[in-house]
Amino acid sequence: MKHRAITGVERYAIEITMGLKKRLGELVDISEPPSHSRYFQHLWEHALLPCKASNYRVLFSPANVCPIYKPRGTKYITTIHDLSFFYYSESFSKSYRLYYTSLTPRVLSISDVIITVSQFERDMISLKYPLIKSKINVIYSGIDDVFFKSGHAEKGDYILYVGNLSKRKNFEGLLKAFKRIYKAIDKKLVVVGMKPEIMRLSKGVERLIKAIPSEYLEFKGQINDNRKLSDIYKKALAFVFPSFYESFGFPPLEAMASGTPVIVSGRAALPEICGDAAVYVDPGNTDSIAKGIFNVVKNENLRYSLIEKGKKRALEFRWSKSIEKHCELLEESL
């Protein structure tokens, strides 16, 4: 599926399919829909792709959906990234929710092997669909090598957030917390993600954006070039990500690899992914988020400690390692 913003799911699909192709060569055939039309892509996936899959022993679907029909003799391996559309339905359109809530049980049932990206998400899938628990394999995603490249970058006077502005990401909670402390820390909040005029924002978010002086709040829009994004991470004084629900969480690891201290939510998969290399906050508590940001900004020793721990932690999540695990799983399936 083609979108204006490259999502974590798309990033995973690109990295893993290209990595498998590079490792396994002619054993891998990458198939894509011939149209950018969303409706035609769905039709292609369920009506035409199974016909092509009948010529292969394994069909690997990396983006939450596989065909609802399976030809005899072909195994399906499907990556389910998360079930957030069940738990934070208000963050998704009605058509999106309807499509995935109706399709997911069939996808889980028809797939021979299921991959997901964290132990947390494995537990969430198993909780809702206990009969398929034995099918689920956890393989962590990775982050682009560009974020690990060293290079001196003068730290700027800004706090950074990277992500969309939805309720699930708790952008409103971040703005509430920042509004309380921006005068005390005298730092700007820089937001990388779709600009407010593109997103459908809640009234609360709209009010908060108007309440924070423009010199303290900057929206850079969507940045899909990882080199440019890495530079923004490197120059940030701190990175904050108080999301309610993440099955993995690329941005905190990208910030860590870039040498930026990280403040994240203590919920969902984030503690599993970030380990001891982050300051954890309660995403449902404005005071907790504000205190976490304030402490990191004001405590230089804490920042340096987080930077060192973060660099080490990020090294555990490389695409090469993830691709190796996927290759092993494919070989077992064959």
Q: Give the pLDDT confidence score for residue 1 in this predicted structure.
A: 41
pLDDT in tens, 52-74: 999 999 999 999 999 999 999 99
What are the structure tokens assigned to 233, written together? Answer: 């991470």
Residues 6+ away with beta carbon under 8 Å from 171: 161, 163, 164, 165, 205
pLDDT in tens, 237-287: 999 999 999 999 999 999 999 999 999 999 999 999 999 999 999 999 999
Q: Give the pLDDT confidence score for residue 4 in this predicted structure.
A: 54
Mean pLDDT, range 10-20, rounded to an integer:
95
Between CA 235 and CA 238 the distance in angstroms is 9
Q: Give the pLDDT confidence score for residue 2 in this predicted structure.
A: 42
Q: What is the pTM of this model?
A: 0.94
Domains (ranges, CATH) in the chain?
8-142+318-333 (3.40.50.2000), 145-314 (3.40.50.2000)
CB atoms within 10 A of CB 317: 20
Alpha helices per DSSP H over the chain: 8-24, 38-43, 49-53, 84-87, 94-110, 119-128, 171-185, 203-211, 226-235, 250-257, 270-274, 286-298, 300-314, 319-333
pLDDT in tens, 287-326: 999 999 999 999 999 999 999 999 999 999 999 999 999 9
Q: Across the beta sheet with 158-162, what order do the strands follow?
A: 217-221, 188-192, 158-162, 238-241, 262-265, 279-281
